[in-house]
């Protein structure tokens, strides 16, 4: 065969063109966005009222906790103050007991000074050595007085078992249950009695007491005259 015979017939261009493949065509952007919004749309949100209620409940709970903590702090502070006050009272009591024990040991020395000074004749009180003893006595008493020591009043005072210790009860003139003599002086330290006074108590005789009570019950002459005048 010759080359002219091998040439295949050419197909017209209009017949060989095929329609484009629509499967490979790009999707419009707007439709793609719409479809994503529809697919990825979040669920509907809860109403805002429920969120406010939740916050208000949390606030109330925190307020209750704050009140509890404040109450606990106040109680702790009160307990601390009570503890400090109790410790201070205990320390004061211990200090007072220590002072009382020391003063009790010094009281016999003061008693000896009083007895010695009471037996010195008046004519010899101006001697220098006696004046020195009196000065020592006054200094010792000033030290005790600065610590709160005070003498207990006895002679002429009503008998008090808390401050007086009776060593004798004498029948005689005078009011009943009245201290007539002080044998040994007593002392107080603040509100406590360091040592009671040793005293003798005078009592009115029973007959005189009954007679005095009867006289007190009978009206006197002026009262009788007033009653007669009114009648």
pLDDT attached to residue 220? 52
pLDDT attached to residue 85? 92
pLDDT attached to residue 31? 47
Three-state SS letters, the chain: CCHHHHCCCCCCHHHHCCCCCHHHCCCCHHHHHHHHHHHCCCCCCCCHHHHHHHHHHHHHHHHHHHHHHHHHHHHHHHHHHHHHHHHHHHHHHHHHHHHHHHHHHHHHHHHHHHHHHHCCCHHHCCCHHHHHHHHHHHHHHHHHHHCCEEECCCCCCECCCCCEEEEEEEECCCCCCEEEEEEECCEEECCEEEECEEEEEEECCHHHHHHHHHHHHCCCHHHHHHHHHHC
pTM (global) more than 0.75: no
The Cα diameter of the chain in Å comes to 194
Hey, which residues does 187 pair with through a beta bridge? Answer: 151, 195
pLDDT attached to residue 125? 79
Residues of the chain with pLDDT under 70: 1-49, 172-176, 204-231
Q: Which of 197, 108, 118, 113 is nearest to 152 (CA)?
A: 197
């Amino acid at each position: 065969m010759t080359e002219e015979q091998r040439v295949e017939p050419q197909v017209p261009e209009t017949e060989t063109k095929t329609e484009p493949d629509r499967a490979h065509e790009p999707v419009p952007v707007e439709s793609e966005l719409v479809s994503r919004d529809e697919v990825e749309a979040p669920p509907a949100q809860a109403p805002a009222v429920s969120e406010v209620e939740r916050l208000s409940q949390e606030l109330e709970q925190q307020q209750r906790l704050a009140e509890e903590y404040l109450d606990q702090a106040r109680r702790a502070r009160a307990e601390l103050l009570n503890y400090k006050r109790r410790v201070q009272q205990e320390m004061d009591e211990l200090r007072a007991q220590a002072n009382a024990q020391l003063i009790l040991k010094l009281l016999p020395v003061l008693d000896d000074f009083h007895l010695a000074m009471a037996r010195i004749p008046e004519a010899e009180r101006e001697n220098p050595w006696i004046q020195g003893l009196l000065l020592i006595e006054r200094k010792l008493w000033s030290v005790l007085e600065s610590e709160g020591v005070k003498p207990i009043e006895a002679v002429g005072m009503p008998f008090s078992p808390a401050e007086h210790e009776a060593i004798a009860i004498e029948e005689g003139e005078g009011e009943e249950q009245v201290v007539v003599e002080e044998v040994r002086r007593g002392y107080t330290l603040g509100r406590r009695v360091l040592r009671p006074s040793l005293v003798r108590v005078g009592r009115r005789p029973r007959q005189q007491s009954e007679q005095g009570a009867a006289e007190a019950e009978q009206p006197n002459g002026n009262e009788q005259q007033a009653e007669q005048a009114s009648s």
